[in-house]
Structure 1
Amino acid sequence: MKIAIQEILKNKLRYSILGIIILLIAFLTLAISGLARGLSYDNASLILDMPEGTFYMEEAAEDKHNFSAISDVQINNLNDAHDNMTLMSIQMGEVEDSSGQAHSLVFVTSEGHEIFPKAAQNELLLDGSLQDEGIQSGEEVSTRLISDNLTVSGFTEQQTYSHSPAAFIHPNDFSELVQSDASQIVFVEDEAAAIDGLTAYSNDEFLNTLPSFSSEQMSLNMITYFLYAISGLLFAIFFYMINVQKLTTFGILKAVGVKTITLFKMMWTQMILITIIALGIAVGISQLLVMVMPDAIPFQLTWEVTLFTSAVFMIIGFIGATLSGIQISKVEPMYAINQGGA
C-alpha cells in the first residue's frame, strides 16, 4: 500500500485526471438517478404510495384504465376472493377557479378500503401543488362536465398521476363526470386471483401501463447504464496504459521475488483510493444539490440510491482495473532484463 500511495504522489497529475473524470461521471450518474427517482414519483406518486397488492382491470381494456369498466358480477367475484377491496376510477380533466383560470388535473375517486382521502359530495380535495397555482381552500371551482360547482375542502401532499395533480372527488360526482357508474380499477392488498374477464397486475406492472412512466424511466436508466459502462472502460484503459509503461518495472520486481498478486494489490489500492476520493466529492456535491434544487424540479436522491451507486462504481472500477492487469501476470523477469540491456 505504501508503494501504491508513493506512486500516486509521484504522478499527481496523471492520477488526478483519472480522479476528476470519475468524479464527473459519478456526479452525473447520481444526478440522473435523482432525476429519474424524482420524475418517477412526480409521475405516479398516487400509485407509488399505495401498499403492495394487486390491481384488476377489465381484460378487454388492454392495459388502459380509462377503457376499463368492471361489472357488478366481477366485483362480487372479487369480493368473494379478497377482503378490503378498493374500487378506483381515474379521469384526466381540468377545473376553472373563481377567476376563470383553467388548471389541468386528474380526477380520482375511490370506494371501500381507506387508502385515499375521501371527499364529500360537491367537494374536492386537491394536491397541494394547485394551492401554489392560486387555488384556496373554500374556493368554488367548476368543470364543464359537472352541473354544480365544487368546493375545495382541503389539500393533500404530493398526490400526482401522469405528472398531473390529483383531485379526489365523490363517487357520485365522478359518475356524473364520466357518465358511468362502473369502476375502472379494483385494488386489493393480496395476491392475485383468477377472475373471468379481468387482468391482474402487481404494483410495478400497473405502473408500466402508464406509457409516460415506462418510457421515461427506461430512457433515464439507459443513460445510467451507459455511464457505468463508460466508467469501467475508463478504469480499464487508464490502468492498461499505466501498466504498459511499467512492464519493465514489473519484470524487475518479479525478478527480485515480488509475487504477481502483490502487484495486483498495489493496482487495486490505487483504484480504491482514487475511487473513494472521487465518490466522496461527488456524493457531497449531489447531496448539496438536493438541498438547493428548487421544488419545481422533481429531484429525489436517497442515501440508499447513493450507496448503491457508489458500490456499483467500486465494483466496476475493480473489474476494469483487474482486466487491465492481465499483462502483469504475463510479464517475465527476462523481459525486464532484456529491456534494461537494450
Structure 2
Amino acid sequence: MKMAWKEMRKYKLRYTILGSIIFLISLLTLSISGLANGLSQDNAALIKNMPEGTFYMEDSAEENHSFSALSDEQISNLKEEDPNATLFSIQMGEFNDASDQKHSLAFVSASDNEYFPETESGEIVLDQAFEEEGFKIGDTISSGLLDKELTITGFAEEEKFSHSSVGFINNEDFFEMYNTDTFQLAFTTETDQPVDELSAFGNGDFLNTIPSYSAEQLSLNMIIIFLYVISGMLFAIFFYMINVQKLGTFGILKAIGVKTSALFKMMWAQMFIITIISLLLAVGISQLFNVLAPSGMPFHLTLNMVMLSSLAFIIIGFIGATLSGIQIKKVEPMQAINQGGA
C-alpha cells in the first residue's frame, strides 16, 4: 500500500485524470440508474407497491389490461383457487377541477380495500402529487363520464400508473363511468395455479404488459451496462499503458526479490484508491441531487442501488486492472532490465 501511494503521489496527474474519468462515468451511471428507477416508479408505482403475487387477465385481451373483462365464470373459477382474491380495474381518464381545468388521471377501483384506499360512492382518493398542486381534502372534481361530482377524501403516497397519477374510486362510480359491470384484473398472493381462459403473470411479467414500460427500462439499462463495460475497458487500458512503461522497474524489483503477487497488490491498491475516491464524490453528488431534484422530475436513487452500483464498479475495476497486469507475471527480470528501468 505504501509503495502504491508513493507512486500515485509521484505521478499524480495521470492518476488524477483516470480518477476524473471514473468519477464522471460513475456519476453518469448513478444518474441514469436514478432516472430509470424514477421512470419505473412513475410508470408503475401502483403495481410495484403491491406484494409479490400473481395477476390474472383475460386470455383474449392479449396482455392488454384495457381489453380484459373477467366473466362471472372466470371469477368463480379463480375464487375456487383463492376465495380472497382481489378484483380490480384500471382505466385512463381525466377530470375537471373547480375552475374547469382538465387533469389526466388513472382511475382505479377494486373489490376490497386490502391493497387500495377505501372509498364510498361519490368519493375519490388522489395521488399525493395533486396535493402538491394545491388540491385539498373536501374539494370536489367532476368527470364527463359521471353525472355527479366526486369529493376528495384523502391522498395516497406515490401511486402512479402509465406516467399518470392514480385516483381511487368506488366500484359503483367506476362501473357507471366506463359502462361495465365487471373487473378487468385479479390479484392473489395465495396461488399461482393456471385458471381456464385467464393468463397468469408474476409481478415483473405484469409490469412488462404496461405500454412502454419494458422498452423504456430496456433502453436505460442498456446504457448503464455499456457504461460499466466502458469503465472496465478504461481501467484495463490505463494500467496496461502504465505497466508497459514500468517493465524495467518490474524487472529490477523482481531481481531484488519482490514477488509478483506484491506487484499485483500494488496495482490493486492503486485501483481501489482511485475507485473509492471517485465513487465517494459521485455518490455524494448524486444523493444531493436526489434530495434537491424538483418534485416533478422522475428521479429516485435508493441506497440499495448506490451500493450495488458501487460494488459493480469495484469488481469491474478489479477485473480490468488484473487483466492488464498479466504482463507483470510474464516479465523476465534480466530481459526487462536490459530494456532500461522507468
Query: TM-score, normalising length from structure 1?
Result: 0.96
Find the counterpart in structure 1 of residue 182 from structure 2. 182
Residues 91-132 of structure 1, C-alpha deviation per residue, up to 9 Å, x if partnerless?
Answer: 000001121100100110001352101211122111121233
Shift of 1:173: 1.0
Find the counterpart in structure 1 of residue 49 from structure 2. 49
Find the counterpart in structure 2 of residue 313 from structure 1. 313
Find the counterpart in structure 1 of residue 3 from structure 2. 3
Secondary structure (helix, strand or coil) at the match of 1:106 reads strand
Does residue 162 in structure 1 map to residue 162 in structure 2?
A: yes
Find the counterpart in structure 2 of residue 200 from structure 1. 200
Cα–Cα, structure 1 residues 221 and 43, in superposed 2: closer, same or farther, change >3 Å? same
Q: Which runs of 5+ in 1 are unaligned?
A: none
CA RMSD in angstroms comes to 1.4
Residues 261-307 of structure 1, C-alpha deviation per residue, up to 9 Å, x if partnerless?
Answer: 11111111111111111111111111111221121112221111111
Paired letter, 2:190:
D
Residues 192-235 of structure 1, C-alpha deviation per residue, up to 9 Å, x if partnerless?
Answer: 11111000001111111012221111111111111101100110
Contact residue 249 and residue 337 of structure 2 kept, 8 A: no
Paired letter, 1:331:
V
Secondary structure (helix, strand or coil) at the match of 1:94 reads strand
Shift of 1:84: 1.8
Does residue 228 in structure 1 map to residue 228 in structure 2?
A: yes
When structure 1 is superposed on structure 2, of 178-187 and 328-337 the one drifting more is 328-337
Residues 59-138 of structure 1 aligned to structure 2 (within 5 Å) = 59-112=59-112, 114-138=114-138
Find the counterpart in structure 2 of residue 38 from structure 1. 38
Measure, in 1, the Cα distance between the counterparts of 2:133 and 2:290: 23
Cα–Cα, structure 1 residues 337 and 127, in superposed 2: closer, same or farther, change >3 Å? closer
Find the counterpart in structure 2 of residue 264 from structure 1. 264
Secondary structure (helix, strand or coil) at the match of 1:296 reads coil
Secondary structure (helix, strand or coil) at the match of 1:93 reads strand
Measure, in 2, the Cα distance between the counterparts of 1:271 and 1:150: 61
Q: Which runs of 5+ in 2 are unaligned?
A: none
Secondary structure (helix, strand or coil) at the match of 2:174 reads helix
Shift of 1:75: 0.8
Contact residue 83 and residue 188 of structure 1 kept, 8 A: no
Shift of 1:253: 1.5
Measure, in 2, the Cα distance between the counterparts of 1:191 and 1:14: 59
Measure, in 1, the Cα distance between the counterparts of 2:337 and 2:16: 32
Find the counterpart in structure 1 of residue 237 from structure 2. 237
Does residue 282 in structure 1 map to residue 278 in structure 2?
A: no
Secondary structure (helix, strand or coil) at the match of 1:168 reads strand
Find the counterpart in structure 2 of residue 328 from structure 1. 328
Contact residue 110 and residue 118 of structure 1 kept, 8 A: no
Residues 16-37 of structure 1, C-alpha deviation per residue, up to 9 Å, x if partnerless?
Answer: 1111111111111111111111
Aligned residues: 341
Secondary structure (helix, strand or coil) at the match of 2:93 reads strand
Contact residue 162 and residue 211 of structure 2 kept, 8 A: no
Identity %: 58
Paired letter, 2:264:
F
When structure 1 is superposed on structure 2, of 330-339 and 221-230 the one drifting more is 330-339
